[in-house]
Amino acid sequence: MEYPKVFEQCPICHSSERVLEAEVNEEKRKGKIPQDRIATSQMTMLPVVDPISMTGLSAPVLTVFKDICGGCGFEYPHVITKQILPRHQIEKMLGITTISTRQS
């Protein structure tokens, strides 16, 4: 699958108007928000591999950005990105504490 995956329309009413996107775009025009910022009401990061049994120093993570439909008010994913994150960032994000076996 290719990323970023962009969903242009609400799956319920098929409107392409998004509430937060409209507000963020206005702030971008004013120069108050960086141009590469994605409007989102909620952002969820999902490791593609099991973080408990993960081997290696990094792993792919999907980031799901949600917004609110301007037509019907339904909150839905409108952008999904994929990136590689270091293992320690994934563990921190999920609240996983690793125990060092190194002795002093």
* In the predicted structure, residue 103 carries a pLDDT above the cut 60: no
Output DSSP code: residue 98: P
Beta-carbon contacts of residue 88 (< 8 Å; ≥ 6 apart): none
Please give the model's pTM, rounded to 2 decimal places: 0.77
- Report residue 75 CA to chain centroid gap: 14
Residues 65-99 pLDDT 10s: 999 999 999 999 999 999 999 988 888 888 877 66
